[in-house]
Structure formats: C-alpha cells, structure tokens
Structure 1
Amino acid sequence: MKNRFFPLCVLLAASCGVPHGSPPPSSASAPGRPPSSLRVRWLGGPTTTLERGGLRVLTDPMLGSRADNAFVLPKHPSSGAVNAPIARYTLAPPLDVGTLSAVLISHTHNDHVDAEAKRSLPKSLPVVVAAAGGDALRAAGFVDVRPLDWGEKLTLRYGAVQLEIVAVPAHHAHDAQLDHDLGRGNGYILTWKDAAGSLRAYWTGDAVLSDESRDLATRYGRIDVLLPHLGAVGSDGGLGLRTMNAEETMTLTARIAPRLVIPIHHTTFGHYREPIVALEQRVAEAGEQKRFRFLAEGETWDVE
C-alpha cells in the first residue's frame, strides 16, 4: 500500500522535518480506550509499537517471518561459530508500516534491524539510532536518520502529543572488552506529554544490569513502564551475558520501581537462551504478578 505519513515535527538541536499524512486507525480515540493511554504491542524479539494520541513509533524492527535462517550473526554468542544462521521460531505479526510516525533503533546488529525491515520500511521515516549506526542506515536508503549518543535527546510532536526521547547507556556485556567490541548501543527514556499529563517508559535495548540503569529513575523521574530485553543471550558462552536474565530483570525492577513491566526480547529467536518461564516463576515467587504483563506476540496492552 502507499505509505501515508503523519504531520510529525522532529526536533534535534535546531533542525525540524515535517512528514505529512493521517493518524493510524488504532488512535487514542479507539472505543473503550482511555485517550491518554500508551498502547504497547509486542511483535516478537525486540520489536514493539508504542502509540499515544496518534504518535506511533516502532522499535528495533525485526519484520521477517519464521525461518531457519532468519538472519546471520558474525559470531554466535553461545558457540562462537562464525557467520551463524539464527532461526525465527514464530510468525511475524502483521504490521501496517504506513501508520508509523518514526522508528527507534537501539543498535544496528542483525538481530535488531533485519533485511525485511530495510526493504519494507518507508525510507523517509524519521529513524532514531545509536550514534554509531547512522551510516549503516543511510547506506540502506533511509534519508531522515537521527543519531543520538548517550545523554542526547530529541522531541517528536504529533498534534497535542509530544514524545521526548533521551538516549541512555546500554552496556551489552559485563565483560569490558566484549562490551567495547559489541559497540555502543542505546537504551531510551521515552516521555509522552499531552494535556492529560505525562507517561514515561524505559526501553533498555540490549543491556545487562549496570550502575547507569539502576540510577535512571533518580535521574529522569518515575518510570511508568519498563521494557526490558531478556533472553540471557550469551549466558552459556565463554564471555557471559549480553542481555538480561530473570535475576537481573528482577533486580532492575526493584531498583527503579516501575508501575508496569512488559518483558520483550525473548522466545522469538534461536540465540535466546533463557525461556520466559524463568522470569514468570521469579515474579510469582516475589508476589509481583500485578506489576508484570507477559504478552504473546502480536498482543497489545494499554497503559493508563
């Protein structure tokens, strides 16, 4: 279908670009939905859509469907095998890319931006990415690439809704050399503001527990929604974790005390090592079931 863009203002330093079009069909006026809610839809792996008041962003687009060779990693995080094919176990939920306002990318590894995303996403969409990933996305044809380094921010606007995006550290490993070698990726503090108030989310990106992530609530204010990357990638490899496991997720939750946790980055792909049931068990043991929402791929949850 022909893509239609929103009247979206993207402010970075003194620059402003304005795409055009109309809001998505599942806007804040949907029946039975509070107008100030944040709609979270998990599409598998690190991929979500986050939408409030007609401003809809897509995170870490992995849009290819089920396959034994969904993508290739230069080196398998568990076995160390070179040029390792990684399976996608599940069908990709449908996504109308014409309803998107922008794309947020934590880093440009092959398990966070796939070939189908590079093929199918409109090349004029604003794309926010870790500073090191800008050139790769421009080479893929995207023309409105907005690199952010840690501590930098920009604002998206749609009508009366604005979304402030702050890039925060996402340490990819506890091992210092591996963390360096894997590159400097981002997590993001995302704050939606409109006449009804504000709502803040922390999307961790591919991050292990660190001092910076523990202190984010103190620095940026109350976190309403935590979107942690799980899967314990690399936990059975020689250099250890590359994303959080259940234990680290529970520790982070205790430290920043979000109102709601929606775990992502689990189940979908073959290099994920810890099943989500490990976190479900820890949540039950801690009596924290009301704080956590475990979504199926394609499922949505409205955060008020």
Structure 2
Amino acid sequence: MELGSVFRALAVVAFLAYPSAYAGASEASTPPHIEVTWAGGATMIITFDDMTILTDPALGAEGFRMGDPNVPDLHRVKFHRRLTPFSGVDLEAVDLVLLSHAHEDHFDQEARASLSRMLPIVLPSADIDAVEAMGFESLDDLKWGETRQFHTGTGEVRITATIAHHSRDPQTAEMLGVGNGYWIEFSQGDWRRTLYWTGDTLPTADVIDSVKSLGKPDIMVPNVGGVGTNGPLGQISMGAADVVAFADEIRPRWLLPIHHSTYAFYREPISELVGKSTGEPYCLVIAEGTTTLYE
C-alpha cells in the first residue's frame, strides 16, 4: 500500500481539517465541511451546517440484548457486551435519526428508551409499524429510490434510500427484513460532497448498480464485521473481500468502515480489510474508538 493511503483516526483529523476552497467563499467565512463521528457499531453523528444526523443509535454503554446470528439457536436472546469505550451522544443536538433497519444492534434498548418520541426518524418502510408501536410519532418511511431533502440554514442535505440485502440468499434476506442503505448529498452553493452508507448489505449486482447510478461517492461507509459466516443464516454482513470488491465498483475517494470491533459477534477483525486494501486507490480510514473526520 502506498504511503499515506491508510490513516489512523488522529492523523485524519489533522489532514482533513482544511477543506478545499469553494466558489463564493471569503477569507472570513468558514468553508463548508462534513463532520463524521463514529461512536461504535453502526452509530455515527454526521454534522453539516446546522444539521446533526444520528445513524442507527446503539446507545447502551454496556451493550444490548439480541439473539446471536453466529450460533445455532437464533431465538435465544443474550446480552452482547460492548468491547470498546462509549463516549456518549448529545441527544439534545440531534435533528434527525437515520435508521438502516431496526434490529437491536442498530436500534438498541437504550435508544428506544431514551430518544424523544417526537424526534424525526427516517427509516425503511418495513420497520415503520414496529417503531411506531414503540411510541415514536415523527416517522418518515423511505422506500428504495425515494429521496428526502432538508434545508440546513445555508445548505441542503438530500437523503436517498438505496437497495440493501441483508443476505445473498433471498429467503434469508426476506426473513431478516427489508433494510436501506443511504446516499447522502451535502451541498452549499457550488460546493457538493456525497457519502454512501451501505447499511447491512452484501454487494449483490442490483445493490452495486443502484449505487453506481448515483455516481462516485466521496466517502463510502461500509458495514463490515463478517457477521453470521459460520451461523445457521450464513453471512449477513460484509467481510473485507466484499468491501474491497464493492469499492472497486463504485470508486470512492475515502473508505470509512464501521460495524466492526465494538461487539464480539462482529467476527472478522478490521485488520483483514487493512490487508486486503493494499494497492487500492481509495484512502482507508481506520477508526480507533470514537473518530471525528472532516471532509
């Protein structure tokens, strides 16, 4: 791998703190930028202009309860202990929750108890009844290909739901429920950046085609971890080889993997992706704990 193509968390903050110039900027103005903080699991805090988005909130500092897709008895609920520190999330600052799907490792018991019932949530159509039954009132279900636009003071955020398949096997994918990936476009004047968050998907042909139709993302955020590889459902989240093959198709500038290391049921270590990224053209960002990036 070429020198500088893999960054650890602290190096990235320094490197990306100075976005490129944009049309209409003055010396006194702050250039537009995206701030992405990974808080473990699939939880991110994404801030642009005056808008803060919280993704797949897993807020339990100790862990959460769910079945284990890596063992034969899928229906036996167990406690999944958090292995990495959790610095918390300022829920008062959150304007929107973005759910890829409502499995407990993506929307845990603590989040279900502590989030305001009036906080806007964008989520897959398949989960709207279940989340509404939890008491949440401001729900907006997004089907694949649908877009929502949000004004952010001086800019805009456009969120488009993309195809996501939790398994390569159609029956297993149907059993696990229909989730979303998201293509997020941030714009301010002539400045524009895009972030593609895969959600829990495998890189099937239709998933790849749906993303390629939207362009080349500046930042790709894949859910990895190799979950289920030896379990009764088979593989239900990407491993390193899947991510590299996917990135080779859609050609992102930056690759920020999440959904790894936080819990023991993420079976594949992130070192696998580091090794398989040797020679790849993207810049791989390996987060250690909570990571903040600017782009």
**TM-score category (smaller protein):** 0.7 to 0.9
Measured in 2, the distance between the counterparts of 1:199 and 1:152 equals 19
Measured in 2, the distance between the counterparts of 1:239 and 1:109 equals 15
Measured in 2, the distance between the counterparts of 1:153 and 1:104 equals 13
Is the 8 Å Cα contact of residues 152 and 167 (structure 1) preserved in structure 2? yes
Q: Does 1:251 find its partner at 2:245?
A: yes
Query: Which secondary structure state, in structure 1, belongs to the residue aligned with residue 66 of structure 2?
Result: strand
Structure 1 match to 2:285: 293
Cα displacement (A) at 1:169: 0.9
1:225 aligned to which of 219, 238, 263? 219
4+ runs of 1 displaced by more than 6 Å? Answer: none
Cα displacement (A) at 1:217: 4.5
CA RMSD between the two structures: 1.5
What amino acid sits opposite 1:50 in the alignment?
I
Cα displacement (A) at 1:179: 0.9
Structure 2 match to 1:84: 77
Cα displacement (A) at 1:141: 2.0
Is the 8 Å Cα contact of residues 231 and 276 (structure 1) preserved in structure 2? yes
Is the 8 Å Cα contact of residues 174 and 240 (structure 1) preserved in structure 2? no
1:143–1:239 Cα change, 3 Å: closer
Is the 8 Å Cα contact of residues 52 and 93 (structure 2) preserved in structure 1? yes
Cα displacement (A) at 1:196: 4.5
Measured in 1, the distance between the counterparts of 2:251 and 2:216 equals 8
Measured in 1, the distance between the counterparts of 2:254 and 2:125 equals 29
2:171 aligned to which of 177, 202, 211? 177
Structure 2 match to 1:270: 264
Cα displacement (A) at 1:142: 1.6
1:155 aligned to which of 140, 149, 153? 149
Structure 1 match to 2:10: none
1:132–1:252 Cα change, 3 Å: same
1:176–1:216 Cα change, 3 Å: closer
Query: Which secondary structure state, in structure 2, belongs to the residue aligned with residue 286 of structure 1?
Result: coil
Long gaps (5+) in structure 2: 1-16, 20-30
Q: Deviations over 1:219-278 (max 9, x none)?
A: 112211100000011011233210100000000111100010100000011211101111
TM-score for the superposition, normalised by structure 2: 0.86
1:49 aligned to which of 45, 50, 54? 45
Is the 8 Å Cα contact of residues 213 and 252 (structure 1) preserved in structure 2? no
Measured in 1, the distance between the counterparts of 2:62 and 2:85 equals 5
1:97 aligned to which of 81, 87, 91? 91
Structure 2 match to 1:58: 54
Structure of greater relative contact order (alpha carbons < 8 Å, 6+ residues apart): 2
Q: Does 1:134 find its partner at 2:128?
A: yes
Structure 2 match to 1:145: 139
Percent identical residues? 33
Is the 8 Å Cα contact of residues 66 and 90 (structure 1) preserved in structure 2? no
2:35 aligned to which of 39, 55, 67? 39
1:148–1:217 Cα change, 3 Å: closer
1:84–1:215 Cα change, 3 Å: same
What amino acid sits opposite 2:89 in the alignment?
L
Cα displacement (A) at 1:33: 5.5
Q: Does 1:199 find its partner at 2:193?
A: yes
Q: Deviations over 1:39-77 (max 9, x none)?
A: 11000000001111121101000000124xx2122xx21
Q: Deviations over 1:76-117 (max 9, x none)?
A: 211122223122212322211111110000011111101111
Measured in 2, the distance between the counterparts of 1:216 and 1:281 equals 28
Long gaps (5+) in structure 1: 1-31
Structure 2 match to 1:119: 113
What amino acid sits opposite 1:168 in the alignment?
T
Measured in 2, the distance between the counterparts of 1:252 and 1:41 equals 23
Is the 8 Å Cα contact of residues 58 and 106 (structure 2) preserved in structure 1? yes
Is the 8 Å Cα contact of residues 161 and 193 (structure 1) preserved in structure 2? yes
Is the 8 Å Cα contact of residues 163 and 210 (structure 2) preserved in structure 1? no
Structure 2 match to 1:21: none
TM-score for the superposition, normalised by structure 1: 0.83
Is the 8 Å Cα contact of residues 55 and 161 (structure 1) preserved in structure 2? no
